[in-house]
């Protein structure tokens, strides 16, 4: 089988550094550490990137995809808005604030970025079915991308997900299987299925395709830097589910520096969790290096991973960059969703409520510098998590069609 992963030349263990050939593997045989793509980058210039399409493929020379990726059916996500959030900044007392709004992706979450990578890997390995374990957004991204690419799909979710996310995953076809239990139960089931003949020729985007899939999160780092005028933000707040997104944004920043595309300036990375599923935040505050699993209990279901695989690496990055990890309650999440909506016209899902809520808390507790340029991520669309603001799902007033009735009401 001839494989074409562009600049990616192999897989490397993040723990012990053992190298492997490119393949559908995700764990080191020596130490069981996670594998990630290793590269041999050629010369990459700002002009080369800027001349590319207005999606993630403008960065194809930095990703594990073939040079002709744009000629194949794909969802072409990315190049979402970096919103200058002056109103929110004034409300929170932050001098220079931006919201990276990834709700503008094809299925309205950042998951389209990572799935686009997985689709190309699945094509390389000759897989016919795309699959995943999901807290919601990933399921919709996988079924949509599979439909576009002409692949079959079969995705697995906790049975009690938000109805909007279930509907989105179903509408694109394929099979959607609800599992009794939480996300960690779903993930364990998928690990068993990979070793079963039923899973033969299946690409599980966040398991056996994970080294390629996870690289899609780097494109958030690339876009933020380019949209800021080719510079790194001084502070960034990122939601934590598995923790992979945060680690890959850090990797993306470091690659831009190494390639000379941005100046090597310091940046602080802050992780954000819901209090009802905050194992990384708990470990960070206690000064621990080990993340103890928890049973999730939060409205932020897209972040409800009680045993985050990349948790220890998140701790390392937060400490190395001088950032931190913080959490907020469900009530604070709802308040933050409304604050972002009323100040910037951005309707975030609960994960965005977590990041904005944590941003507010970091300012109030003095952990974040209000004078420094700050970016906060919104990773999904609020229409997917309407239950969180169900109290507002009614008119301000119901009146007769007359001016007198309107005057009386307002």
Contact 310, 246 (CB under 8 A): yes
Q: Yes or no: say if 380 and 397 are a contact pair by the CB < 8 Å rule.
A: no
**Rounded Cα gap, residues 360 and 244, in angstroms:** 23
Query: What's the rounded mean pLDDT across residues 4-16?
Result: 96
As a whole number of angstroms, the distance between CA 22 and CA 385 comes to 38
Q: Which helix (H) or strand (E) holds 268?
A: strand 268-274
If one counts the domains in the chain, the total is 1
Tokens linked to 327: 């959490």
Residue 22 banded pLDDT, cuts 50, 70, 90:
very high
What pLDDT score was predicted for residue 395? 87
| pLDDT band for position 172 (cuts 50, 70, 90) | very high
- pLDDT, position 136: 87
| 194: number of Cβ within 10 Å | 16
Dihedral sign, CA of 161, 167, 171, 175? positive
Of residues 386 and 52, more confidence is placed in: 52
Crossing angle for the helix pair 244-258 and 311-321, to the nearest 10 degrees = 50
Tokens 């210039």 identify what position?
45
345 close to 87: Cβ distance less than 8 angstroms? no
Mean pLDDT of 118-141: 94
Percent of the chain residues topping a pLDDT of 70: 100
- The dihedral sign for the CA sequence 231, 234, 237, 238: positive
Q: Is the pLDDT of residue 2 over 80?
A: no
- In angstroms, the CA 178 to CA 158 distance is 5
Q: Is residue 7 part of a domain?
A: no
Helix axes 137-149, 163-171, angle to 10 degrees: 10
Question: Which is more confidently placed, 184 or 37?
Answer: 37
52 belongs to a structural domain:
no
State the pLDDT confidence band at 194, using cuts at 50, 70 and 90: confident
Asked if 277 and 294 touch (Cβ cutoff 8 Å), the reply is yes
Are 328 and 304 in contact by the 8 Å Cβ rule? The answer is no
Distance CA 256, CA 350 (A): 30
- Domain of 357, CATH number, reads 3.40.50.1100
pLDDT in tens, 75-121: 999 999 999 999 999 999 999 999 999 999 999 999 999 999 999 99
Positive or negative, the Cα torsion across 14, 16, 20, 26? Answer: negative
The dihedrals phi and psi of 135, each to the nearest 5 degrees, come to -90, 5
As a whole number, the mean pLDDT across the chain is 95
- Confidence at residue 129, expressed as pLDDT on a 0 to 100 scale: 96
Write the DSSP string, 145-195: HHHHHT-EEEEEEETT--HHHHHHHHHT-SEEEEESS-HHHHHHHHHHHHT
Tell me if the pTM is above 0.85.
yes
Q: Tell me whether residue 188 is in a domain.
A: no
- Domain interval for residue 288: 82-108+211-388
Q: Is residue 177 part of a domain?
A: no
Average pLDDT over residues 155-179: 92
d(CA 121, CA 55): 18
Q: At what angle do helices 350-364 and 330-344 cross, to 10 degrees?
A: 90
- As a whole number of angstroms, the distance between CA 239 and CA 327 comes to 10
Residue 90 covered by a domain: yes
Question: How close are the terminal C-alpha atoms of the chain, in Å?
Answer: 70
CA distance 171 to 138: 14
Give the mean model confidence (pLDDT) for residues 229-246.
Answer: 98
User: What values do phi and psi take at 189, rounded to 5?
Assistant: -60, -45
**Residue 14 domain-assigned?**
no
Torsion of CA 367, 369, 375, 376, to 10 degrees: 30
DSSP string, 88-110: HHHHHT-SSEEEEEGGGSTTSBT
Q: What is the pLDDT of residue 195?
A: 80
pLDDT of 394 reads 82
Q: What pLDDT is attached to residue 391?
A: 80
Q: Is residue 262 part of a domain?
A: yes
Res 191 pLDDT > 90:
no
The 8 Å CB, 24+ separation contacts for 84-92 are 85/343, 85/344, 85/376, 87/343, 87/344, 88/339, 88/340, 88/343, 88/344, 88/356, 91/339, 91/343, 92/359, 92/360, 92/363, 92/370
Q: Is residue 51 part of a domain?
A: no
Q: Do 350 and 301 touch, CB atoms closer than 8 A?
A: yes
* pLDDT tens figures, 347-398: 999 999 999 999 999 999 999 999 999 999 999 999 999 888 888 778 888 9
Token pair of 159 as six digits:
């049975």
β-pair partners for 348: 381
Sign of torsion, CA 37 38 41 47? positive
% of residues, the chain, pLDDT over 90: 90
What local confidence, expressed as pLDDT, does residue 1 receive? 59
């Amino acid at each position: 089988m001839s494989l074409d992963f562009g600049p990616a030349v192999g897989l490397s263990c993040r723990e012990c550094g053992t190298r492997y050939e490119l393949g559908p593997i995700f764990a080191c045989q020596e130490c069981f550490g996670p594998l990630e793509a290793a590269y041999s980058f050629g010369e990459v210039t700002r002009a080369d990137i800027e001349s590319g399409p207005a999606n993630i493929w403008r960065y194809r020379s930095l990703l594990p995809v073939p040079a002709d990726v744009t000629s194949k059916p794909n969802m072409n996500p990315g190049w979402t808005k970096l919103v200058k959030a002056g109103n929110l900044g004034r409300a929170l007392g932050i001098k220079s604030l931006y919201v990276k709004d990834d709700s503008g992706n094809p299925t309205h979450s950042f998951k389209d970025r990572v799935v686009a990578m997985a689709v190309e890997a699945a094509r390389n390995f000759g897989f016919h079915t795309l699959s995943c374990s999901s807290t919601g957004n990933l399921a919709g991204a996988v079924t949509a991308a599979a439909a576009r690419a002409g692949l079959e799909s079969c995705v697995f979710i906790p049975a009690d997900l938000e109805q909007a996310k279930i509907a989105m995953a179903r509408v694109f076809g394929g099979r959607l299987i609800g599992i009794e239990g939480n996300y960690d139960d779903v993930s364990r089931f998928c690990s068993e299925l990979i070793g079963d003949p039923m899973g033969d020729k299946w690409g599980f985007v966040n398991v056996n395709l994970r080294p390629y899939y996870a690289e899609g999160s780097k494109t958030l780092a690339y876009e933020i830097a380019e949209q800021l005028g080719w510079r790194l933000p001084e502070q960034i707040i990122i939601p934590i589910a598995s923790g992979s997104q945060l680690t890959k944004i850090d990797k993306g920043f470091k690659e831009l520096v190494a390639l000379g595309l941005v100046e090597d300036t310091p940046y602080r990375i802050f992780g954000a969790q819901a209090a009802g599923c905050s194992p990384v935040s708990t470990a960070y505050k206690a000064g621990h290096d080990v993340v103890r699993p928890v049973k999730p209990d939060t409205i932020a279901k897209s972040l409800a991973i009680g045993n985050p695989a990349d948790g220890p690496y998140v701790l390392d990055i937060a400490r190395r960059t001088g950032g931190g990890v913080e959490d907020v309650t469900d009530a604070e999440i709802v308040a933050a969703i409304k604050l972002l909506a009323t100040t910037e016209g951005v309707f975030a899902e609960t994960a965005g409520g977590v990041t904005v809520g944590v941003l507010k808390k970091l300012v109030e507790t003095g952990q974040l510098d209000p004078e420094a340029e700050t970016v906060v991520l919104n990773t999904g669309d609020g229409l997917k998590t309407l239950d969180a603001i169900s109290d507002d799902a009614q008119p301000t007033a119901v009146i007769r069609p007359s001016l007198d009735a309107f005057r009386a009401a307002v």
